[in-house]
Amino acid sequence: MTTRSLPLCRRGFWALLGLTLIVVSSVGLTLAQAADPLDYTRDIKPILVKRCYACHGPDEGKRKGDLRLDVRKEAVAEAIVPGKSAESEMIARITSDDPDERMPPPKSKRPRPTDAEIKLLRRWIDEGAKYDEHWAWVKPKRPAVPKTTGTWGRNTLDAFVAAGTRRTILRTRPRPIAARSFAGCRWT
C-alpha cells in the first residue's frame, strides 16, 4: 500500500506522529545536556579563545585594558562575579549596544559572541565561573565503573558504553546467544 492510497487523515496522522517523536527526542536530549554542569575546557574556553583572548589572553604584548580572562584570579578581580552573571562586567560588555562599551569593539572587526555563546557564558558564571587546570597538570583519576543491568556487557568498557547510551536515550539489546559463547565453534 503506498502513501497515495492512504486516506488523507491517515497520512496526516503518521506525519504528526513522526513530528511528535522528533520533537520529544530532541527535547529529551536538550534536557539531558542542560542537566550536566558546564565544563570550562569543553564549553567555555573555546568561546573565550575565539572571542576574547586576542586582547585579553596570555600574550602580554597584545593584552589590552590590563585584563586577563585566561587566569581566574585576574578575571574575577576585574570582570566576572561568580554566581551572578547579571552583575558581571564581562556579560554587560558583550551584550552592550553602545559601541564605546561593547566587546569586542566594532573597530576590532571581530564578530560578537552569538546568542548561544552568551547564554553559555551566563550559565557558566551563574554556576560559579569555575576554571580548570590544563589537562597536562591534572593527575588522572580512575572513574568508578557504572552499574549495568542485565547481561549486556562483558567487561568494564562495555559498562561505560552502556552508561553513555543510557544518557543519550538509546536502548541496548542483549547479545544473541550464539555471540555469548564460542563453545562448539571450530577454528580452522
- CA–CA separation, 8 and 124 (whole Å): 49
pLDDT one digit per residue (tens) for the chain, 188 residues: 555 555 555 556 666 666 666 655 555 444 445 558 899 999 999 999 999 988 898 888 888 888 899 999 999 999 999 999 999 999 999 999 998 888 988 888 888 899 999 999 999 999 999 998 888 888 999 989 888 777 667 788 888 888 887 777 665 566 566 555 555 555 55
Angle at Cα 137 formed by Cα 133 and Cα 142, nearest 5°?
A: 95
Distance between CA atoms of residues 116 and 122, nearest Å? 10
The pTM of this model reads 0.59
Q: How many CA atoms lie within 13 A of 152 on its CB side?
A: 18
